[in-house]
Structure 1
Amino acid sequence: MRINRTLGAGRVLVALFLLSFLAASAQQPVSLDSCRRMALKNNKQLRIAEEKVKGAGYTKKSARGAYFPGIDFSGTYMYNQKSISLLEEDQYLPTKSFDLATQEYKYNVVTNPMTGEPILNNGQPIPQTVALIPKEAFEFDVHNVYVGLVTLTQPIFMGGKIKALNDIASYAEKLAVTQRNTAEKEIVYQTDEAYWQVVSLVHKKRLAESYTALLDTLNRHVQDMIEEGVATQSDGLTVAVRLNAAQITLAKVDNGLALSRMALAQICGLPVNSVFTLEDESLERVEPQEQPLAYDMDEVFRNRNEVLSLDYAAKIYEKKKNLALSDMLPKLALVGTYSFSNPNAFNGFKNEFNGMFSVGVMLNIPILHWGQNYNKIRAAKSEAVVAKLQLADTKEKIELQVNQAAFKASEAYRTYRMAVKNLEKADENLRNAQVGFEEGVLTTTNVLEAQTAWLEAQSEKIDAEIDTRLCEVYLAKALGTMRY
């Protein structure tokens, strides 16, 4: 019950935190940096990358332990149904006596009193005296057997395998870090893309609302003119069709905006139905400023995590060659053991513990494996060549990507400047058309054309501005200079 209460209280606290965050977000606009931080904090793939970095760190520590002696213990207990008996029955051993005449020990045998010769039984002399060895003397209680072994192994020379494994583990950890950094930048780029998509649709929604309002005003004026007899029903229907089309467009934009907000909320790790305002939704925005596009490809390669990842991968494959070579070299290790048992094998198998130390050197020299180890080296060399070729290919693609990103950024800035000038002309054209229509000089067709041109100019300006933002992010990602 106490655990259930604790879990229930935890859920309540989490719910209150989310509600307070959403309430605060609804009141205060959320910045791009805030979206980035939330995305980096809540993204599951990034958590996976973090765990891979931790795992690589543990693997590195594990490889370092191979330099030190390994101590192992193994023990066995066995219950046996029967005891061990070395004799089938009681044994009788002949005895000897010292003969002073011959100065030798001679068997005590039964002799013929007349001749003094040994009396034979089945061709064998008959002992005069015997030593009794009872069967029980050679029976050992092994019903309960305990055996233990403590082993210490210190590698002395392993053909370079331990160092190669440590180098591979070290490069693998660095590789995991670069892959995590790559994942972070990809998440930031996705966040920026979703953020500016929402901003774009917000402004397009306002544009659609303004355009709908213009058509609604024009529709009322035309209806008044139809009643006064200075406009035809055809003019009214033309404006009404345009108004309906504008309302449909507004509904589509509104739906697209809702879906884009859901996508951004999901990337940020928030509930998809979260409602929050973005900082750049306001009309008071800083106009994009064109940045210098000078760059050094050597510096770009140093900044790109993809290049660093492939570089570490190439180094790993180089070390795998050393790992394969170590299988062809001798291996030397110092071995020390302490073994003990019960029954005591050193004291007549008495039911007591006793043991002994042993120290030695173990040498292993590979002699013939029918090309197995040699082919491992050749395979490792091929993998190293493949890694180097992949690195060179990636550098070429990155150089192409950087040049394309720089070209797109330059083109985006030029398009934005042209869109601004075009919008100024569209604003002036719409104002003249409205004045001319009010004075009866221009027709509804002229006004509709001016409004359509104004709508297209506004839309192109919004697209151009958002495109400059995305091109800046994409260029920073291509150059490896993304800041977050």
Structure 2
Amino acid sequence: MKKVLCIIYLALLAFPMSAQRVLSLDSCRALAIANNKELLISQEKINAAHYQKKAAFTNYLPKLSATGGYMRNQKEFSLLSDAQKGALGSVGTQVSGAMQSGIQGLLTQHPELIQNPQFMALLQALGSADIATPLNNLGNALVDAFRTDTRNMYGGALTLTQPLYMGGKIRAYNKITRYAEELARQQHNSGMQDVILSTDQAYWQVVSLANKKRLAESYLQLLQKLDGDMQKMIAEGVATKADGLSVKVKVNEAEMTMTKVDDGLSLARMLLCQLCGLDLSSPITLADEQEEDLPLSSIAANGIDLEQVYSLRPEVRSLELAAEIYKQKVNVERSAYMPSIALMGNYIATNPSVFNSFEKKFKGMWNVGVVVSMPIWHWGEGIYKVKAAKAEARIARYQLEEAKEKIELQVSQSAFKVREATKKLAMAEKNLEKANENLRYANLGFEEGVIPASNVLEAHTAWLSAQSEKIDAQIDVKLTEIYLKKATGVLQ
């Protein structure tokens, strides 16, 4: 049905607006569906729900993220204390002083060594050698080697995370998003049925007023003919002026009725144009305006299968999906106090690096592990949330049961109104036959002069009432059939 409506709409767009003189019911539906902003919004909601479902599925898959940073520190980290740095920087001087003190002590304890020329030559060689400078340089080199230079720090990491068990949260979210997408589709279908219902109501209202306008024109012509005959009879002295005045009053009333019907028809056309997305002043004509007897479809108002109705009504399906969503929300809340297990993999790089002492280079390493998180005590927060979610799930089920009861009543009432409207139409057709016959006899009697003008006016009034009742009965049958289709979920 949607494809057919779209084809009709595209066909209408292929012609200029000035050529859109005659619109059928299907073309009005197609225009209304294509131009209704609420339906366009609901279609975008379907698209949003579809992408949310795709996003939820990605929670099953591993995720890779990168992190980088820079930090400027006021001071650098030091592995050596100031005293240790000073000691290493003067290690040569300390060694040289210790050697001199040791030699003096040795000579004091063993003065006989002074008489040994070889020993004195060794002492002279040691005294002339510069031991302090290279040792001091070595100590300073060690101090520089222990510098961390952490005033400018850079770091980066690549992290791979694969969920293993999240307490059922991921599965529940995927089900929720799947139900949400279907719920958006059902709401779109429900909105489409509402648009079709409003369009059909406006369409048949225009048809009804167009027929009543044609009826008012015919009635006015009859009265004008009667007024002309009455003036001739008054001139011949057969009728009185009072009879003529009573006819003129009826003519004036018919002209006022004609004006009201014409105004009502204009407003009804404007409403239909607004629903179809057309300019309010568009000169449209409906295909069923010229039909004397509207075609009536045979819709079964008895033996309706309620289970099939429940399966077709988008409202019922929407409430069923809402109940499923709340059921999954219980699982989501329950997963909050279940253990979570994930596989983690990282590659971390820093500058300065510490893998080969402290170097001003980017170096890194990888690691793999398993992360387990288990809530222990939260004062019963998770239990309360689960109970609240269960209460919401029960509310959704109660709403579903209540909706089914109301739909059953709505279907019964709609079927009763269809049968009642059909009976009223049959009675209206019989009354119209009698009114036509009565009017024919009244006109013949008036022309022969055996029936007064008051009786003729009564016959005209009865004929007008019967014609109007037939039109109302036909439109009522059409509308009640539409309401029954809407109640049974087959309106499309």
Q: What does residue 58 of structure 1 align with?
A: 51
Question: Could you report, residue by residue, the CA deviation over 1:90-124 in whole angstroms, capped at 9, with x for unpaired residues?
Answer: 5223879xxxxxxxxxx9895544479xxxxxxxx
Equivalent of 2:315, from 306, 311, 318?
306
Q: What does residue 23 of structure 2 align with?
A: 30
1:416 aligns with 2:388: no
Quick one: distance in 1 between partners of 2:99 and 2:213? 127
Q: What does residue 257 of structure 1 align with?
A: 265
Equivalent of 1:334, from 339, 343, 348?
343
Give the 5 Å matches for 1:60-75: 60-75=53-68
The answer to whether the 8 A contact 2:91-2:139 is kept is no
Quick one: distance in 2 between partners of 1:156 and 1:84? 40
TM-score for both structures, normalised by structure 2: 0.84
Distance 1:235 1:144, change over 3 A: farther
Q: What does residue 16 of structure 2 align with?
A: 21
Unaligned runs of 5+ in 2: 1-11, 93-97, 111-131
Quick one: distance in 2 between partners of 1:21 and 1:411? 43
| Residue identity in the other structure for 2:429 | V
Quick one: distance in 2 between partners of 1:109 and 1:367? 70
SS in 1 for 2:299: coil
Question: Could you report, residue by residue, the CA deviation over 1:154-181 in whole angstroms, capped at 9, with x for unpaired residues?
Answer: 1011000000111111111111111111
Instruction: Measure how far apart 1:287 and its partner are.
Output: 3.9
Q: What does residue 330 of structure 2 align with?
A: 321
Equivalent of 2:231, from 223, 226, 240?
223
Question: Could you report, residue by residue, the CA deviation over 1:42-77 in whole angstroms, capped at 9, with x for unpaired residues?
Answer: 111111111111111111111100001111112123
| Residue identity in the other structure for 1:167 | K
The answer to whether the 8 A contact 1:73-1:149 is kept is yes
Deviates more, 1:335-344 or 1:311-320: 335-344
Equivalent of 2:139, from 132, 135, 154?
132
Larger Rg: 2
| Residue identity in the other structure for 2:26 | D
Distance 1:439 1:371, change over 3 A: same
Instruction: Measure how far apart 1:307 and its partner are.
Output: 0.7
Deviates more, 1:236-245 or 1:313-322: 236-245
RMSD across aligned positions (CA): 2.6
Give the 5 Å matches for 1:393-432: 393-432=402-441
| Residue identity in the other structure for 1:402 | V
Quick one: distance in 1 between partners of 2:387 and 2:65? 36
Instruction: Measure how far apart 1:226 and its partner are.
Output: 2.3
Deviates more, 1:71-80 or 1:451-460: 71-80
Higher strand share: 1
Give the 5 Å matches for 1:52-201: 52-79=45-72, 88=82, 90-93=85-88, 110-111=101-102, 112-113=105-106, 114=108, 132-133=139-140, 137-139=145-147, 141=149, 144-201=152-209
Equivalent of 1:449, from 446, 458, 462?
458
| Residue identity in the other structure for 2:311 | R
Unaligned runs of 5+ in 1: 1-16, 97-106, 117-127
Distance 1:66 1:108, change over 3 A: farther
Equivalent of 1:355, from 351, 364, 370?
364
The answer to whether the 8 A contact 1:22-1:276 is kept is no
Question: Could you report, residue by residue, the CA deviation over 1:415-439 in whole angstroms, capped at 9, with x for unpaired residues?
Answer: 0000000001111111111111111
Instruction: Measure how far apart 1:277 and its partner are.
Output: 1.2
SS in 1 for 2:349: strand
| Residue identity in the other structure for 1:411 | E
Q: What does residue 474 of structure 2 align with?
A: 465
Question: Could you report, residue by residue, the CA deviation over 1:363-387 in whole angstroms, capped at 9, with x for unpaired residues?
Answer: 1111111111101110011011100
Question: Could you report, residue by residue, the CA deviation over 1:293-323 in whole angstroms, capped at 9, with x for unpaired residues?
Answer: 2211111111111111100110111111111
Higher helix share: 2
Distance 1:137 1:235, change over 3 A: same
SS in 2 for 1:149: strand
Aligned residue-pair number: 445
| Residue identity in the other structure for 2:47 | K
Quick one: distance in 2 between partners of 1:207 and 1:86? 107
